[in-house]
Amino acid sequence: METELSKKLGVEHAIFGFTPFPAVAAAITRAGGFGVLGAVRYTAPDELARDLGWMTEHTDGKPYGLDVVMPAKKVEGVTEADVEAMIPAEHRRYVEETLAKHGVPELAEGEASGWRITGWMEEVARNQLDVAFGHPIKLLANALGSPPADVIARAHDHGVLVAALAGSAKHARHHAEAGIDIVVAQGYEAGGHTGEIASMVLVPEVVDAVHPLPVLAAGGIGSGEQIAAGLALGAQGAWLGSIWLTTEEADLHSRALTAKLLAAGSGDTVRSRALTGKPARQLRTEWTDAWDDPNGPGTLPMPLQGLLVAEAVSRIQKYEIGPLLGTPVGQIVGRMTSERSVQAVFDDLTRGFERAVDRINRIAGRSDRS
């Protein structure tokens, strides 16, 4: 499953695996793909440094990358406290009323809220980069479009390629003009922040828009046949995220959440602003329904919504409140029916790719195999 891009990066298979879990990212790289660690959950530089150091020790000298969430435009002098103060009291009341309705306990006195989406902030993201460039990363991906020009230049000075996600050909052209090296064409089916154009339409549009830049196909991909389809559409690799959530190496900290993912069908997700304020595909739950309810106050823009719901999400996850429990995940969740190792997923992907190529070869009359 080699392409010009995979050869350039020195990986066996043109499979790029995005994940928030270091153990999963390292296993993807060891299996012959390219593991990409999501940085948005890291608020302390020393924690990111620890996990990148661990990945370096557990990737057998093979390449890996980092995914950050950094806005293209820099905002000076704005702190997290400044942003918190902008959240309306009405929205805070709605959060507490929704949690009370479902009997969600408070955190213990003195217990800090867990996950907070602060990686989008300029200061946090730049601190992450200070750490990252001290480790042998080979790719820097940005989930919010092109990073600032000085970040792109800094990455290139370190010999690091820069990738950016795009949900339309227009966005992809902007990335190309900004000096991005790789465009990830992420379709509507994807988990997390995603646009409104399906992968089958989006990928060839982006390939044409940014030629000769390499493009990765993303969104709803979880089989080797789909990877083959992406390459047939002109991509030089595939970007997979959701499929790794139910691997044995993943650490969701919740058996109940894993069970919900394994039981979900492809129609059990929704694009909702409930988590971050931007449309993000996730499991549909009574929590997402509450924020889509026309009788509610509606969601706040990013980053206010993420800060508003951070503690609530922590409480829901800690106490495993079933009706509210969810996570970002793509429509490929319908194929995620069992817990497997990353290597087992890779074996399945490569076998599926071979089947697809053989099928096309037979159709084209280029194979003697029956």
Q: Is residue 352 part of a domain?
A: no
Instruction: Please give the residue range of the domain that contains residue 301.
Output: 80-116+253-324
Mean pLDDT of 35-55: 93
172-201: pLDDT as tens digits = 999 999 999 999 999 999 999 999 999 999
171 and 320, same domain (yes or no): no
Domain end marker among 324, 346, 363: 324
The residue to which tokens 């996850």 are assigned: 317
Check whether residue 296 and residue 265 sit in a common domain: yes
Element containing residue 340 per DSSP (H, E)? none
Q: Are residues 209 and 195 in the same domain?
A: yes
Bridging pattern class, strands 280-283 and 192-193: antiparallel
Residue 347 domain-assigned?
Answer: no
CATH code for position 40: 3.20.20.70
Residue 2 in this model has a pLDDT that exceeds 80: yes
Q: How far apart are CA 161 and CA 4, in angstroms?
A: 14
In a domain? residue 95? yes
Q: Stretch 159-168: mean pLDDT, rounded?
A: 97
Long-range contact pairs involving 121-127 (C-beta distance under 8 Å, separation at least 24): 121/78, 121/80, 121/303, 122/70, 122/71, 122/74, 122/75, 122/76, 122/78, 123/79, 124/43, 125/39, 125/68, 125/69, 125/70, 126/70, 126/151, 127/45
Based on the domain organization, do 132 and 215 belong to the same domain?
A: yes
Residue 311 has pLDDT above 50, yes or no: yes
Question: Is the pLDDT score of 303 beyond 70?
Answer: yes
> How much is the pLDDT for 134?
96
The reported pLDDT for the residue numbered 370 is 45
pLDDT greater at residue 143 or residue 353:
353
Per-residue pLDDT band at 145 (split at 50, 70, 90): confident
* Total number of domains in the chain: 2
> What is the rounded average pLDDT for all residues in the chain?
92
* SS3 assignment, position 346: helix
pLDDT digits over 91-130, tens only? 999 999 999 999 999 988 877 665 555 445 667 788 999 9
Q: Is the pLDDT of residue 165 over 60?
A: yes
Judge if 240 and 313 occupy the same domain: no
Per-residue pLDDT, 114:
58
Q: How far apart are CA 69 and CA 295, in angstroms?
A: 32
The backbone torsions φ and ψ at residue 238, rounded to the nearest 5 degrees and listed phi first, read -125, 140
Dihedral of CA atoms 89, 95, 100, 105 in degrees, nearest 10, equals -110
- Residue 331 domain-assigned? no
Residues 6+ apart with CB under 8 A from 329: 191, 242, 245, 261, 264, 269, 281, 282, 283
Query: 345 and 240 in contact (C-beta within 8 Å)?
Result: no
Instruction: Assess whether 144 and 91 both reside in one domain.
Output: no
| pLDDT category of residue 76 using cuts at 50, 70 and 90 | low
pLDDT at residue 63 above 90? Answer: yes
Domain co-membership, 148 together with 238: yes
pLDDT at 367: 63
Boundary residue ending a domain (216, 249, 282): 249
Of 132-136, 161-165, 310-314, least confident by mean pLDDT is: 310-314
pLDDT higher at 94 or 79? 94
Same domain for 236 and 184, yes or no, is: yes
Question: Is 100 domain-assigned?
Answer: yes
Q: What was the pLDDT predicted at 232?
A: 97
Same domain? 200 vs 144: yes
- pLDDT tens digits for range 238-267: 999 999 999 999 998 889 999 999 999 999
332 assigned to some structural domain:
no
Residue 131 lies in a domain: yes
Examine the fold and report which residue of 286, 302, 324 is the final residue of a domain before the chain moves on. Answer: 324
Residues 127 and 219 in one domain: yes
Which pLDDT score, from 0 to 100, does residue 108 have?
85
> Same structural domain for residues 159 and 64?
yes
The answer to whether residues 130 and 206 belong to one domain is yes
In a domain, 133, yes or no: yes
